[in-house]
Structure formats: C-alpha cells, structure tokens
C-alpha cells in the first residue's frame, strides 16, 4: 500500500489508511434497538425519521430558518455512519477499529454561492443554529417558504440481505485469517501478510426546500491483502483488494482465495521485474483497472465546477471531436454494486448514467445542482460528498470506456516496443493544462508485439486531451476494476469505480531509469 | 474548555474500565472551523461549524482496539463502550500492546509554543473573513501578467479549539490551539485550450504571522504564469534544484520508511541502518517538536509521551527511527515517538539565485505531480514541473517530465543546501541542489 500524494486531485485505492470501520452489534438482531442508531423519541412506524429522531415539522422549521436571510434553496443532509475494521498482522487478528459518525449538514444556496454548516447532534436547537449559520450566505432578508415535504421513492441497487449492524466481529475474523493462510501457502518467499476487512453502512436522509424527501442506505464491503516477500537480499511488497456495495455474502471463499492469491502472485512476480525504461514509449493499457487513466485524463476535467469556473482544459470543448469514433466514455452511478454506484446522489438526484464522450464527441459534464442551473441542463446525479461535514460538489461515480472492435491480442501484437500497464497505485491531474500522471506498480515490456519482462514502480505522465486523441485501438474486452478506488478532491474522499477495455495510446513519458 | 474536556475524558476512561477495560487512552477534540471563499469578485462559499470527537484506545485482557465517535450523548456513548469493549475481547491477545511507561510522560517542554492566538481569533468575524478573501483576490489581480487571468478563487479560514489526552495510567495533557489560513488559486489562459493553475497559501498559529496578501497573491499568479507555454525537455540525466517548499515531496519518500510499522513489517529499505551513512554528509535534519509558532509543535505526542528534539540525519548518518511504544516493543528497541513534527535543516549559505548560478545548466523543479516511492526498495518516480536553466538563468518552462531514482543513491547526489529556508511549512527546508538525476521527457 502506498501513500497517496498530497494536494490536488488524486486517486488512491486500498482505502485511506485513516479510518474505516464499524462496530458491530454483537448480539445478532439487536442493532435496530441499538442506541447507536436511535436518537430521541422516534415516531413509530415512520421509516423516514425513526433512525434520526427528527420529524417532518423539525425539518421544515430548519429549512425555513435556513432561508431566513433570502437564500433561494435550502437542504438538510442527515447521516449516520458506522465503519468497522478488523486487521490481521503477524498471524494474529490483533486489532479492531470502530467509527461512529452522526450529524447533519445544512446548505443554503443564493445564486451560485453556498452557505454551509453542520452539527453533530440532531436536536432542534442545534439544527436551527446550523441553519442560521448557513443562511448567512445571503443577506437580503425576506424569506421564501419551503414546500411541504413529500417522500420521493428511490431505486435499490445494492440491497443487503443481512445488515452489517447484525454481523459480529466473530464472523469477520475468519475472513482475514483465511486470507492470510491462502497468501502464505501460495509461495514460501512470502514472509509477511497483513489483511484487513472492513464494512461500512451509511444512512442518509435528505430534505430540501423544494419539498423533496429522500433516504438511502449505502453499504460498503472491503478486503485488502498485502504481502511482503523476500528472495535473497531483495524484498518486494504488493497487495490486492476487492470492494463493493454489499453485505457479508460478498466475502465468498472464492473471493477471499482470489484476492489472497493475486496479492501473493503480484508480490513474488516483482522478483522477475527489470528496471523500467525511461523516455517516451507507446502504452497499452490492460483491461479493467487501467480505467484510472480515464479518471485522471478526462474524468476530473469533466466535473462541471471546474468548467463553470473556466479552470478546466475541457471548458470550451463540448460538442467537439476529442477522440476516435471507437471511444465512448461513460460515468455511471447505476452500475450494480460497484463502489461508485448510488441510488441517489448526495443532493437527492437519482443516480444515472452520463455519457461524457460518445463516439469521440465530447457530450456532457458531470453536474451538481449549482452547475446544472448555471448551464441550464438537467442534473446528472453527480453531486457527492464525503459526509455531512462537507457540501456536495460534482464528482465521478464509476467511469469507464465501453468495448470497441479490437481483439486485445492484436492490440499487443501491433506494438514493436512499448509498455503494457497493468496495475496502478495512484494518479493525479492538473486540471488547467490537463496534464495527468499515474503510477504503475506492475507492467510488462512489449517487444516485437509480445509481452516480455515485468517492470514496476514507474510514473507515467501525459496530457489528457492529447492522450485521448492518440487512442487508436480499443479492445472488445471491457472490464471494471473490482478493487477499492477512492478519489480525493477539495479534501473530500469518496469511493469510485472505473474500467476500461484493452486500449492502445500513443507515446507517454515513462519515468524509469534505464535507456 | 480544556478542563471540561479533561473531565469528560476521565469520566469516559472510568466508564470503559467499569466495563472491563484495564487500560484506556482517550483523546477528545473540540474546535470551531470557519471560512469564507471568494471568487471573481463575489462571495462563493461560507462555511462554519463546531465539531467534537472522541478517539478511544482500549486495552482489554491483553487485547487492543481503537474506536472513535462523534455521538457523545450519554446513552449512545454507553452503548458504544459496551460494544467496543465486548468486541475487543474477541480479538487475539497482543502482549506488545500497552500504555507507555509513566516515566515517559514526564519532562514536558514548558516554554510557550504560541499555539493559540486569542486576539487573532477575536479579530476575525464573518465580514472580516470576507474582506480578507476579497483583498487577497485584488492582490492576485494587481500582479504583472494579470491580463491572462481566467478566474481567481481565494479564501480566508481559521480554526480555534482544544484537544485533550488522558490515560488510565496517569497521563493528562491539553492544548488550546488556533490556526489561520489564507489561500489563493488562479487560472490563466495558456495556448489553445490549455490553462495553467497556480496556488499559494499560508498557515500559521498567529494571525499576525500570516504572509501579506500581496506576497500570497503575487506568488499564486506567478506560479500560474510560469507554466504558460511549458513543454517537456528531452530525456536525460541533468543537474537539478528542488525549490524549498517542494523538497518535502521527495524527502517524504526517505522519511516514511523510518516508521516503526514499516520497519517491523519488513517494508522499509532503512531497516537496520541506524548509524549508517545514507545521504551526502551535508544533510542534517532534526525533528523539533518545539518550534515556536508552528502548528505541528507539541509538548506531548499522540501516546502522551513528552516530546524532545531528535536528530534524524546527522551529517548524512541515520540517527533515529519514529517508534511508538508498540512497534518499539515488537522490534526490541526503545520508543522514540511515532509522530513527525517539524523538520529543521542545517541550511547552506547561498540563496536560490546563487544555487542556480552554481548549477549552470539543468532543471529547477517548482512543483511535483503524482508519482510514488516504494518504501521497501527505495525506488521512486515522480512527475515534475519547473524550468529549464542555462548559464544559471531560467530560460523556459517545463512540464510533463518525470524524475526517478533510488533513495539510497539519490541523496548522495545532493551537493548543496540553500540558505532560503521556507518557514511556513512543517518542513523548514531550504532549496536543494543535486547533480546527475534521471529525468524522462520526450
């Protein structure tokens, strides 16, 4: 696991290292009665409010208070999140982590301007105080009245048979124990294995001054296995992860075995690696996790806030041909249990599929409420936030390129000398010029149309629009990355997914050390 | 406020012990965070909140867990303790998990670190924050080259609060803190569709220590403009200078493997290297937790252990690891501290202009982009931006290049430290001059 880079947008996977975890109600079935989930007297039989201990009149008064100084729109975002993690190292499950987070974010919009405040208790007094603070973005007095709240039905893309609150740690420990056994047994050069499994459940409730009332339960499951291997005086490390919006049944014996074997395989494979070359070479991106390239090379640049402000290289490019007709790129919130899938975004807009590039033509930005109003277009369901402490901003969900016409083997065979990029740890983009990087932890040389020696630990740097233009072969083997992608922007980290078919791009600068 | 938080910390420790925890460490923080963000002559966002959170480490029957919650109402907290203590009991015992020896709590630094500026805090109202952000934008727009500006975003932010740490074996400490931030981000038009962004910011614990609006504004605009027309140079091995405030990006790859966790997990290329010559002897770095006015300064660390200045590298020799009580015990070493604070360097005698002259031809690196460093092998590869330099003079901007090396070789190519220490970061670093570094470009 590598540490991510500092500021600017970057993408890291394998979790944040910061927090992550939840506490289990140990006795199964007790969670619904848990004080962790219960706040004040709850109106019985009201599914919307019972979890938060607030009712419609309180929300209404909060929304009204928030508009008290002339704002045009107000919103309350309630969230209760529990994260649990168990960790195995040196052969023992010797550490656990739990994080409980409860609060409400109040947002007021006045034109394009945002007022934001949050509170960590959900009593009326605290809610009204936060609403008053957020209302200060406007100062014209006068007050619009919020519309009466009405529940809006939402889809359910990630139902969980048994809620995480009913799964005790006793059922989680065997997962990391099994993962360690498999990884260790895989190769005798493996000297250390760490495994961590985490689950998260985030319940959100959104109410706004337009009268919309929505809720969602957002589960997440994650397994990360990391290995250290030694061969003579060489030490190598690598890891593998799997993550999805799912419950306990996600962790099948097959999945645990696959993650652990891949982690071990990837680690010992590095002993065969030769030093990476340096200079400009053509790059073939392996299907699946190479989708990080799209995330950096175009995804961030299509987030509408950067374009509304004129900061992005893509700000004047809608409708223009930016890639070959074989290139169609989508950002999709409806993609099953992928990490970036959402029933609703964090402004209460239904998750949807947004075509960024259609047959080479730039089609749509990713919008939040502010930008969709600015551009006069329908929102795309891309307003996301890390948690109640942050206002929503345009973000990616699952970003991928759809399959093209080529056989992946033909794509590799077409390259005389180049790089085949397989596994990545992190990437970053500089929005203005569109220059982006991604760090390849595992790759192969391509020589005379054949995959040859492995290479490792090399940064690739290119320009987004230029690289898109050079994509001249698109494979018919689209795949999604199934590991734990996280994306950071403005200090907010959110889960994302990405994918790609095998793709050939033009020359990219390879930061290796041998000619 | 600190006294009230300490009282709550002790109360929580008592509750956890009543439920079966033998030892407990509790950390509570409460702070207010306010900011005004301004863009192109208008208010863009205002944010303000007060937050409180509890972090709790439980030692139960030789087992260990860490837990955190923002829901501190008595009922919820009781349930939280019930569940976390019970959960901890199910883990494997770990004999290396224990609180620090109480002697390590003694001998705290007693000077004034100037972590809190009540007058500065009192001077910042909502309208004052907006004024600062507005004036900062004006400073950006008054700079040379402002006609290229596409958009400017600025912000004025500040926070004030307290945090306390208490343990069941006698540690008790509290800190009252404030910080003040000014930041400016500007986008200018480059060739074709390209834009260039430049950002500059300043964080201090005392309001009157902030850099001037003009200095921050000029710097942000300059950083945006210097990217205009940038292109990669040919691949090659070149001399280079890394600008003071960005040294941290590459130095981080040398320092991270000093952590106890990576050492104990066999993930550090600096394992068993205490006393060895790792870098050119001109490099000396001290971790100094007592730098006055730095937001990273502290009199006790996250475990409650009293902090002390420690040499990390002395004339290029590795002197200390960052070891918590736990990983020190696992490694059979004495704990130091797990938390990096301020890094203080022994500077050179020449400023950046003189370093450029000494370098003659090569690259001046003024920012990094992406990349990574492998802690187990020391290999690194990072994207860079900056300038091509000839005869000691900047001749053209550079982008889309990578710099690569191995830390065990790279730091021997360090030939000079500048005198230009950057004092607004926890890395109090001057600019560094290297010879013979691998760059990839065209």
Whether residue B295 has pLDDT greater than 80 = yes
pLDDT in tens, A39-48: 233 333 344 5
Share of chain A above pLDDT 70, in %: 90
Chain B hits for A513, CB-CB cut-off 8 Å, are 404-405, 438
Residue of A nearest to B130 (CA): A137
Contact (Cβ atoms closer than 8 angstroms) between residue A278 and residue A463 = no
Whether residue B67 has pLDDT greater than 90 = yes
Contact (Cβ atoms closer than 8 angstroms) between residue A443 and residue A512 = no
A315 lies within 8 A of chain B by CB? yes
Share of chain A above pLDDT 90, in %: 85
Higher pLDDT, A15 or A403: A403
Cβ pair A461:B383 closer than 8 A: yes
- The whole-chain average pLDDT of chain B stands at 96
Residues 333-392 of A with CB under 8 A from B: 389, 391
Please compute the mean of the pLDDT values over residues B363-373 and round it to a whole number: 96
Predicted confidence band at A28 (pLDDT cuts at 50, 70, 90)? very low
Share of chain B above pLDDT 70, in %: 100
Share of chain B above pLDDT 90, in %: 98
In a mutational test of the B interface, the residue from A69, A100, A180 whose CB has the highest number of chain B CBs within 10 Å is A100
Q: What Cα–Cα distance (Å) separates residue A146 from each residue in A117, A155, A371?
A: 19, 25, 22
Residue of B nearest to A129 (CA): B49
Out of B51, B65, B383, name the one closest to residue A459 (CB): B383
Distance CA A391, CA A399 (A): 22
Chain A hits for B93, CB-CB cut-off 8 Å, are 94
A443 lies within 8 A of chain B by CB? no
Higher pLDDT, B404 or A4: B404
Cβ pair A457:B190 closer than 8 A: no
pLDDT of residue A515: 65
Closest-CA distance of chain B to residue A9, Å: 9
Sketch the domain layout of chain B as residue ranges.
2-30+47-100, 118-225, 236-440
Whether residue B86 has pLDDT greater than 80 = yes
Chain A hits for B69, CB-CB cut-off 8 Å, are 98-101
Please compute the mean of the pLDDT values over residues B215-222 and round it to a whole number: 97
In a mutational test of the B interface, the residue from A461, A463, A468 whose CB has the highest number of chain B CBs within 10 Å is A461
Closest-CA distance of chain A to residue B111, Å: 32
Please compute the mean of the pLDDT values over residues A162-175 and round it to a whole number: 93
pLDDT of residue A50: 62
Beta bridge partners of B159: B33, B179
Predicted confidence band at B75 (pLDDT cuts at 50, 70, 90)? confident
pLDDT in tens, A421-469: 999 999 999 999 999 999 999 999 999 999 999 999 999 999 999 999 9
Please compute the mean of the pLDDT values over residues A78-86 and round it to a whole number: 94
pLDDT of residue A139: 84
Cβ pair A433:B194 closer than 8 A: yes
Out of B80, B266, B438, name the one closest to residue A191 (CB): B266
Contact (Cβ atoms closer than 8 angstroms) between residue A72 and residue A137 = no
DSSP B195-254: EEEEEEEEEESSGGGSPPHHHHHHHHHHHHHTTTT-BPPPSEEEEEEE-GGGHHHHHHHH
Chain A hits for B227, CB-CB cut-off 8 Å, are 432-433
Cβ pair A98:B67 closer than 8 A: yes
Helices and strands, counts by H and E, chain A = 10, 24
Cβ pair B195:A313 closer than 8 A: yes
DSSP B321-352: -B--HHHHHHHTS----S----EEE---S--H
3-state SS class at B78 = helix
Distance CA A73, CA A145 (A): 10
Cβ pair B369:A461 closer than 8 A: yes
* CATH class held by domain B118-225: alpha beta
Chain B hits for A236, CB-CB cut-off 8 Å, are 376-377
Please compute the mean of the pLDDT values over residues B189-200 and round it to a whole number: 94
Q: How far is CA A506 from the centre of its chain?
A: 28
Contact (Cβ atoms closer than 8 angstroms) between residue A340 and residue A397 = yes
pLDDT of residue B74: 85
Write down how long chain A is. 515
At A485, give phi and psi (nearest 5°).
Answer: -85, 135
Give residue B320's region: left, alpha or beta (phi > 0; psi -120 to 50).
Answer: beta
pLDDT of residue A51: 66
Closest-CA distance of chain B to residue A286, Å: 19
Chain B hits for A114, CB-CB cut-off 8 Å, are 44-46
pLDDT of residue A17: 24
Residues 133-192 of A with CB under 8 A from B: 133-134, 136-137, 168-170, 173, 191-192
- The whole-chain average pLDDT of chain A stands at 88
DSSP A258-322: HHHHHHHHHHHHGGGPPPPBEEEEEEEEPTBGGGHHHIIIIIGGGBHHHHHTT-STTTT-TTSB-
Whether residue A24 has pLDDT greater than 80 = no
pLDDT of residue B218: 96
Predicted confidence band at A514 (pLDDT cuts at 50, 70, 90)? confident
Please compute the mean of the pLDDT values over residues A266-278 and round it to a whole number: 94
Distance CA B238, CA B434 (A): 9
Cβ pair A35:B68 closer than 8 A: no
Cβ pair B64:A94 closer than 8 A: yes
- CATH code of the domain occupying A14-271: 3.30.2290.10
Cβ pair A311:B442 closer than 8 A: no
Residues A8, A13, A14, A16: what is their CA dihedral angle, to the nearest 10 degrees? 20
CB pairs under 8 A between A and B: 298
Closest-CA distance of chain A to residue B133, Å: 14
pLDDT of residue A513: 87
pLDDT of residue B389: 98
A94 lies within 8 A of chain B by CB? yes
Cβ pair A280:B69 closer than 8 A: no
Whether residue A406 has pLDDT greater than 60 = yes
Cβ pair B235:A438 closer than 8 A: no
pLDDT of residue A146: 85
Out of A101, A310, A460, name the one closest to residue B187 (CB): A310
Please compute the mean of the pLDDT values over residues A44-73 and round it to a whole number: 81
Please compute the mean of the pLDDT values over residues A8-27 and round it to a whole number: 27
Beta bridge partners of A236: A229
Sketch the domain layout of chain A as residue ranges.
14-271, 278-511
Cβ pair A100:B441 closer than 8 A: no
Please compute the mean of the pLDDT values over residues B77-84 and round it to a whole number: 92
Predicted confidence band at A165 (pLDDT cuts at 50, 70, 90)? confident
Distance CA B387, CA B231 (A): 10
CA gyration radius, chain A: 24
pLDDT in tens, B21-43: 999 999 999 999 999 999 999 99
Cβ pair B194:A19 closer than 8 A: no
pLDDT in tens, A289-314: 899 999 999 999 999 999 999 999 99
pLDDT of residue B328: 98
Closest-CA distance of chain B to residue A223, Å: 18
Chain A hits for B441, CB-CB cut-off 8 Å, are 279-280, 509
Q: What Cα–Cα distance (Å) separates residue A368 from each residue in A113, A151, A393?
A: 13, 21, 6
Distance CA B357, CA B63 (A): 59
Whether residue A498 has pLDDT greater than 60 = yes
A36 lies within 8 A of chain B by CB? yes
Q: How far is CA B221 from the centre of its chain?
A: 24
Chain A hits for B399, CB-CB cut-off 8 Å, are 433, 435
Distance CA A490, CA A366 (A): 16
Long-range contacts of B409-412 (CB under 8 A, 24+ apart): B410/B250, B410/B380, B410/B434, B410/B437, B411/B254, B411/B278, B411/B279, B411/B280, B411/B283, B411/B316, B412/B279, B412/B280
B2-30+47-100 homologous superfamily? PmbA/TldD superfamily (3.30.2290.10)
Chain B hits for A6, CB-CB cut-off 8 Å, are 249
A253 lies within 8 A of chain B by CB? no
CA-nearest of B319, B329, B38, B304 to B171 is B304
pLDDT of residue A335: 93
Please state the ipTM of this predicted complex: 0.94
3-state SS class at A121 = coil
pLDDT of residue A18: 24
Distance CA B89, CA B85 (A): 7
pLDDT in tens, B114-126: 999 999 999 999 9
Which residues, other chains included, contact A174 with Cβ-Cβ below 8 Å and sequence gap of 6+?
Answer: none
Cβ pair B400:A426 closer than 8 A: no
Cβ pair A137:B46 closer than 8 A: yes
Contact (Cβ atoms closer than 8 angstroms) between residue A464 and residue A435 = yes
Closest-CA distance of chain B to residue A42, Å: 15
Chain B hits for A457, CB-CB cut-off 8 Å, are 372, 374, 377, 379-381
Predicted confidence band at A53 (pLDDT cuts at 50, 70, 90)? confident
């Amino acid at each position: 696991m590598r540490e991510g880079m500092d500021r600017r947008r970057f993408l890291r996977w394998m979790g944040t290292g910061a927090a992550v975890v939840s506490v289990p109600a140990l006795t199964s079935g007790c969670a619904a009665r848990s004080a962790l989930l219960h706040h004040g007297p709850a109106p019985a039989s009201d599914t919307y409010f019972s979890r938060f201990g607030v009712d419609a009149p309180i929300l209404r008064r909060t929304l009204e208070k928030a508009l008290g100084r002339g704002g045009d729109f107000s919103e309350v975002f309630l969230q209760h999140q529990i994260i649990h993690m168990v960790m195995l190292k040196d052969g023992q499950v010797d550490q656990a982590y739990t994080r409980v987070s409860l609060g409400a974010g109040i947002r007021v919009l006045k034109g394009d301007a945002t007022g934001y405040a949050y509170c960590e208790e959900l009593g009326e007094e605290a809610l009204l105080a936060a609403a008053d603070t957020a209302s200060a973005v406007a100062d014209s007095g006068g007050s619009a009245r919020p519309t009466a709240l009405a529940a809006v039905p939402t889809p359910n893309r990630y139902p969980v048979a048994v809620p995480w609150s009913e799964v005790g740690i006793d059922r989680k420990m065997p997962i990391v124990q099994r993962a360690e056994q498999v990884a260790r047994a895989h190769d005798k050069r493996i000297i250390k294995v760490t495994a961590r499994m985490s689950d998260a459940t985030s319940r959100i409730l959104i109410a706004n001054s337009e009268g919309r009332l929505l809720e969602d339960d957002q589960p997440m499951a994650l397994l990360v296995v990391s290995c250290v291997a030694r061969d003579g005086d060489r030490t190598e490390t690598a890891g593998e992860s799997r993550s999805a919006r799912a419950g306990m049944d996600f962790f099948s014996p097959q999945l645990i075995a696959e993650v652990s074997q891949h982690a071990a395989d990837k680690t010992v494979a590095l002993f065969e690696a030769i030093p990476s070359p340096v200079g400009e070479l053509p790059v073939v991106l392996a299907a699946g996790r190479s989708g990080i390239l799209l995330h950096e090379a175009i995804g961030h640049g299509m987030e509408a806030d950067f374009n509304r402000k004129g900061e992005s290289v893509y700000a004047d490019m809608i409708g223009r041909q930016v890639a070959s007709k074989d290139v169609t790129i989508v950002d999709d919130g409806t993609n099953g249990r992928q990490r970036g899938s959402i029933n609703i975004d964090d402004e209460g807009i239904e998750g949807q599929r947004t075509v960024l590039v259609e047959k080479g033509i730039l089609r749509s930005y990713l919008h939040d409420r502010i930008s969709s109003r600015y551009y006069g277009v329908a929102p795309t369901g891309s307003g996301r936030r890390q948690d109640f402490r942050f206002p929503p901003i345009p973000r990616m969900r699952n970003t991928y390129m759809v399959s093209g016409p080529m056989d992946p083997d033909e794509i590799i065979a077409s390259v005389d000398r180049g790089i085949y990029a397989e596994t990545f740890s992190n990437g970053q983009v500089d929005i203005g010029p569109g220059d982006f990087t991604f760090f390849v932890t595992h790759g192969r040389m391509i020589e005379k149309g054949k995959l040859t020696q492995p290479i490792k630990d090399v940064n690739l740097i290119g320009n987004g629009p230029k690289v898109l233009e050079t994509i001249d072969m698109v494979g018919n083997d689209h795949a999604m990355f199934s590991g734990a992608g996280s994306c950071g922007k403005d200090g907010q980290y959110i889960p994302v997914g990405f994918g790609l078919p095998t793709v050939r791009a033009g020359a990219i600068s390879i930061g290796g050390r041998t000619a | 406020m600190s006294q009230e938080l300490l009282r709550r910390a002790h109360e929580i420790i008592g509750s956890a012990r009543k439920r079966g925890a033998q030892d407990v460490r509790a950390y509570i923080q409460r702070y207010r965070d306010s900011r005004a963000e301004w863009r192109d002559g208008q208010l863009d966002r205002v944010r303000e909140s007060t937050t409180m959170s509890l972090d709790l480490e439980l030692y139960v029957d030789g087992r260990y867990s860490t837990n955190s919650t923002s829901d501190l109402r008595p009922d919820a907290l009781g349930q939280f303790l019930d569940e976390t203590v019970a959960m901890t009991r199910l883990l494997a015992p770990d004999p290396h998990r224990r609180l620090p020896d109480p002697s390590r709590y003694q001998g705290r630094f007693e000077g004034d670190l100037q972590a809190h500026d009540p007058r500065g805090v009192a001077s910042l109202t909502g309208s004052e924050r907006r004024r600062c952000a507005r004036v900062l934008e004006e400073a950006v727009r008054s700079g040379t080259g402002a006609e290229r500006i596409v958009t400017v975003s600025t912000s004025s932010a500040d926070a004030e609060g307290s945090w306390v740490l208490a343990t069941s074996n006698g540690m008790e400490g509290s800190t009252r803190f404030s910080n003040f931030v000014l930041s400016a981000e500007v986008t200018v038009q480059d060739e074709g569709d390209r834009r260039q962004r430049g950002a500059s910011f300043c964080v201090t614990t005392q309001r009157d220590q902030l850099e001037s609006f003009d200095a921050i504004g000029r710097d942000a605009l300059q950083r945006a403009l210097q990217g205009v027309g940038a292109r990669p140079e040919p691949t090659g091995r070149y001399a280079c200078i890394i600008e003071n405030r960005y040294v941290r990006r590459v130095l981080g790859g040398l320092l991270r493997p000093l952590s106890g966790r990576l050492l104990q997990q066999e993930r550090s290329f600096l394992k068993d290297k205490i006393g060895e010559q790792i870098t050119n002897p001109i490099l000396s770095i001290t971790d100094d937790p007592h730098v006055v006015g730095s937001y990273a300064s502290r009199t006790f660390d996250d475990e409650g252990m009293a902090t002390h200045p420690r040499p990390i590298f002395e004339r290029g020799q590795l002197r200390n690891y960052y070891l918590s009580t736990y990983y020190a015990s696992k490694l059979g070493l004495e704990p130091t501290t797990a938390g990096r604070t301020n890094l203080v360097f022994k500077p050179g005698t020449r400023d950046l202009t003189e370093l450029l002259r000494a370098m003659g031809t090569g690259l001046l690196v003024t920012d990094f982009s992406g990349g990574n460093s492998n802690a187990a092998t020391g290999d690194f590869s990072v994207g860079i931006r900056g300038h091509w330099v000839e005869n000691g003079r900047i001749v053209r901007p550079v982008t889309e290049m990578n710099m690569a090396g191995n830390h065990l070789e790279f730091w021997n190519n360090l030939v000079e430290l500048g005198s230009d220490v950057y004092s607004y970061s926890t890395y109090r670093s001057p600019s560094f001059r290297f010879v013979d570094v691998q760059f990839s470009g065209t």
